[in-house]
Each structure stands twice: as structure tokens, then as C-alpha cells.
Copies of this chain bind each other. A is one copy, B any other.
Amino acid sequence: MASVDPQKVYDVVVVGGGPAGLMASLCLTTYGFNILHIDERPHPTTAGRADGIQPRTIEVLRNIGGVSNAPVPGGPIAGLSPIAGGGVAKKMISKGVRVYEVAFWDPTADQKLARTSRAPSCPEFIDVVDNYTLLLHQGLIEEAFLDEIEARRNLLRDPIPTPRSGIFRPYTLRDCRTLPSSDLLSSTHPVECVIEHGDSKAKHTIRSRYLLGCDGAKSHVRRCISGGEEGDGEWKGLITMQGEATDIVWGVLDARVKTNFPDIKYKCLIHSKSEGSIMIIPREANLVRFYVQLQSTEGGQIVSITRDKATLDICIARAKKIFEPFELEFGYVDWFSVYQIGQRIASQYTLDHRIILGGDATHTHSPQAGQGMNISMLDMYSLAWKLNLVIKGLGKPEILLPSYEHERRGVAEELLKFDGAYSRLFSGRGPDAKHLPGGVDAEKFIEMFKQNAFFTSGCGAIYFANELNALPGAKLLDGRHRRAFNPPGVKLVAGQRMTPGHVTRVADGNNVRLQQEVKMNGAFRIHIFAGDLRWTRPALEAFAAFIDSPDSFFERHRVSPGVPSSIVDGPAAVMNHDDHAKHTHTFNPFFTFLTIVGTHWYEWEIADLPSPLRLYRSQVYGDALFDHRVAEADTNAPLHRKFGIDMQKGAIVVVRPDSYVGAIVDLSEDGWLGLNDYFAGFLNVAPMKAKM
């Protein structure tokens, strides 16, 4: 396969084979696109680098799931998803270690170093299933992506031949630009790029619909579109990197150690009295990640060790010093690097919504908060479903594409604000990066750590009002049906992830996680919380009739028959043995319905539900499973209670393909007409010829 050459035309070119580029490739492959994915490194990462996966990222990876290429006895099953257990999340979890608790060590009145506080990685108030940070080296993370991309490429309808997992290496981007629309190809594939093989120097000119720059802090893509001279794109081009560097230098290494430090298997934030700070993180294979502040004291003055002088030996010596009085003996070292603390963000993520940047190409900061890789991956996760809608002709590009930067820049800015304060404080500096007279203010630091747990878990990455998030401030909320949005008492919030809950899948009686029932497949998930059927049955029937009427969002926003929303699901996730039954509903792959009934599921049948809801057989649920977050142990419908949904009224919760809540409306005519307006805000009306 090494001899495969790139072709001339692709849907999307992805530049960069790190976590952001891999997430882009995995998602876009899932949506059925042919990707040209290049990386200038000859091989994937083998050690070190980013190593922390946060709870929300695990949740996302679980939602991406895993496909199985195993042959099915009796041949493929129409309408049955090839999504199987396992997948990227489980592969990573099986190889990594978990951090549930963080310990803070500081000098005290009578001890050189003592544990002064503890904090959970992910405090109880954050409602997330995997309530820990998962640690493993970046190579293992990349490997899980590469395996899954390979498995999904096998499901593409018309795959373009590629090397394994789709990555051409070593290939460098030499140029890229968006051409003016002059012919048929440039109307659909206006992006032109030139890539060069690292060894043979053979050049290829490629055309694509979009090009994604996931090529890191020194992004070639950014320089190409930004202009300016090589290496100076940060300050002279159209896109500038805003923010600042400090003189604070840290070393980072992965090593095996012997020590009598009791918390060596915890994430620890350690401040010595005058020798600087260390953060340690436990890692796979008995390794320990050390972040070591590189400073020394010369003549009573604290002096930073400059980047060029920071060797492994110095780093180890500093670590031993900071660990005193504990013994610390270094063995095998798996990886070593040095970095300088600074925070920068790109002034723009894109100039034309065709060549789009993400990940480290748009934001850089210190690694200690364990956020960079997570936010970079989620940048691409967030962009991919929007591209899917746009390329297939269903989404309005003028709304969806700008929403990428709107939503993700907000998160990156929040991160930079936190990281700037946190990394300086951890280094014993003030907001101006000047040395604090008393060294590290432990109390303030611990306070800051705890206050930011919601954000650092990833669960606090909140999106604000726009066409996709029906929140006060969005135009939609001034519209005709405004009163139907965000019913009082409901605790789910548009622009935030849907929180977890266990329900019973009525079709087979299985206990399942509602959140994970529909895997990432490009569809909007319309959750009908039906409450108590004694009260809600008329509304439920009216809603069902509405869905099948020509004026519903479901009928209005369709693409050409045969264009799927993704490769992982048939037209509907119907676990169906009765497909010889007659019905008129034609599935729309971009919408799927989940009906959660508060009345105990022993008291009604799926067949009692109005069509089309009952046709989504595998997505009808009973709500009667214990949830320890619901104080009243004998609540009939714990998830309705947890989400604050009125049992007499019910509610409709729209979850976007990225598992963010998009809109919450009453289960009433005003509610579903409101949803019509919501979807009309960013989706095209049929008949629209799909652009694929």
C-alpha cells in the first residue's frame, strides 16, 4: 500500500496526523467522505506528548463508537447498524490509567512538603459517566483512531485507495488557496493545494471542497492563507496569533521512578518552598509524567533556566530537588521535552470558510491543564457534522460554517483565560508573569483548580446563543413560538451537552444509556419525553401526525433519496423484525426520534404509540431505572425528574449530532412549530439537489 499515490480530487483535505487531524478524518469518513489526509511525520507518535483524555472527550469517543468489519452470518442486515461494541474509547480505556483524585502538596510550617488538600478530578456535581481523566501516551491515542478509521474506510461506498488508515506520509503541504469559481469543478471543489513527498520530493496538485489545517502551532496551512514570510505568520500575516509568551520554562518527561513519595500514583500538584513546582501524573506501563519547573536560585534570586539550556539531566536534578525530603530515583525515560509557557489564539480560524484551521493551529497554551488535545479533537468533532450537512446540501453554509468558529473560539478563549492564570500561579508568578514575593499562593491555586473543574472536565464547554442553540439572545427566541422554548423547570440547557441517564429500551428490555443510544451518525436526535401517557397522549398523537405532514421539519429538510447521513446507520436505527409491516413513513436519515415514556413501561406497548414514533422501535424507552442523583428513591420516572420535565406536559429535546442540546420545547403545537423555525434557521428546504 506504500506505493499508493494521491488522486486529483477529494471531498476534504486534512493536513496533520495528530489527534485533531485524526478526529477530522474519523468523523468525515463516518459521514461517508473521501479524505486526503497527509502528515509530514514519517510515522505516528510513539511516546509522550499529549496524554490526558477528559471525561467529556471520553463521552464523545464513546458516542463515536466502533464499527465491526466481521462478516455477518447470513449476509448483511438491512437497517441494522454495523456499529458494534468497543471502538476508540474502549481501546484507549483498556490501555490507559485513570485519575480520580488530585493531591496538592505544599510546604507547611513544620514539614518541607506535605499534602495540604485533595480534590476529585471530576467532582460529584458534574454528571458524567466516566468521571476520571484517562492517561496514556499520544501514540496509543493515535493508534486507536487509526484502527477505527481503517475499519470505517472499509464501509465507504466508493473508497479512493489510500495507505492504511488513510494517511499519506511523509507529505508536506507546500501551498493551498481557494480558487475563484470559474468552472464546474471550482464551483464544488474550489480549494487547490500542493503537497510534496518528504523523501522523493514529488509534488501533487489536489482539488477539494474543503481543506482543514490541523497541522499544529507552526501550521503550514495558516501561513499559506495568512501570508507573510515563513515562520512569522504569527504577527505579520492576515491571521495573527494573539497573546503572549512568558520566560517561564518547564521540562516534561515520562519515566519510571522509585520513590517513597506516597502519592506517586495520583495527579499531584507540588510546590516546593523555593525550588519551583512539579506536576506529576500516573501513566500506563508504570510510567510517571513529570512537569518540572525549570528555575534555580542564584544569589537569592530566582532565575529561569532558558529553553536552550534545559537538558534532561537538569530536569531530573530539579525534580529531585523539588521532591525533597522524599527520595526520587529515575530509571527508564520514555520521553523528554521542554516548553515555554504562553497563550496564543488565532485572530481568525478561517478567511473564507473553505480553508479552515483548528486545534493547535488556532490556539496554544501550556500543557499542564491537560486541555489542549481534548479541545483540539473536539474542534474537529464540532466542525465535521456541520461540513456533513453543508456538503450534502442540507445545511446552510452561511450559518453553519461561521458557527464553528463562534462556538469553538468561545471555548478556546475560556481555556486561554484559565490557563494563563493557572500556569502563572502554578509557576509562582502573578498575572503579569512576574515572580510573586511569597512564591506560590497555595490556597488561591487550589481554589482556582477546584473552581475550574467543570471546565477542565470538558463538560463546561458551553456554547452561546446562535441559530443552533435556542437560547435567549437567539433571534428564534424573539419569534412567533418563543413561549414554547425552554419550558420552566427543565434542567437541560441548549448549548450544553445532554447529561446522562439510564433507561429501559422497551424493544428488548435492555438497560441502556440514553445518551449513547444513537451513535454519531450525522442525525439530529429528537427526544420526545412523553411524561405520563394519561395526560400526554393527545399531544403525542398530534406531534406524530405533524411529523408525517408535508409542513414538518422532518419532511421539509430532506436530501436526495439515497444520500445517507453517514456510513454507520441505515435510513433509521430500527431494530426491526417486522419490516413486512405496511407503513407510509419514509425515513429521513438526518432526523431520528427517541421516545421516553414516564408511565411505567409494563403498562403500555410500543404498538400503542402513534406512528411514526413507534416505527423507531429500538428507540422507545421506559423511564424506571434508579438514579442516585434523584433524591426521591421511589420516583416513578427518575430521568424525567432529573431533567425537570413535567410528567403532565412532557417536552421535546433536540440534541445536535455532536450530542449538544440544540433546543428544548413544549410538547405542544407551539413547540413543534418552534422546532420548524429552529431547523429552518440553518437547514435548506427540499427539494434541494444534494451537492454530492
* A-to-B contact residues, CB < 8 Å: 47, 72-75, 77, 80, 84-86, 90, 93-95, 97-101, 118, 132, 256-262, 264-266, 282, 285-288, 327, 329, 331-332, 334, 504, 507-511, 575, 577-581, 602, 605-607, 626, 628
Contact = CB atoms under 8 A, between A and B. Distances in A.
Oligomer: number of copies: 2
Contact of A509 (B259, B266, B331, B508): B266
Contacts of A581: 260
B578 A258 contact: yes
B74 A256 contact: yes
28 contacts: A72-B285, A73-B334, A74-B287, A74-B331, A74-B332, A84-B94, A85-B94, A86-B94, A90-B90, A98-B508, A98-B510, A118-B602, A132-B510, A132-B511, A257-B577, A258-B578, A259-B577, A259-B578, A260-B581, A262-B605, A262-B607, A264-B577, A265-B507, A265-B575, A265-B577, A266-B508, A327-B580, A329-B580
Nearest to A329: B580
B628 A577 contact: no
Contacts of A606: 262
A327 B580 CA distance: 10
Given A266-B508, A577-B257, A73 B47 contact: yes
Contacts of A95: 84-85
A100 B47 contact: no
A349 to B, nearest CB: 36
A100 B607 contact: no
Nearest to A266: B509
Contacts of A94: 84-86
A74 B508 contact: no
Given A74-B332, A77-B286, A85-B95, 5 more contacts: A74-B334, A75-B332, A100-B504, A265-B508, A286-B577
Contacts of A578: 258-260, 264
Nearest to A121: B509
Contacts of A511: 100, 132
Contacts of A93: 85
Contacts of A259: 577-578
Contacts of A575: 265
Contacts of A579: 258
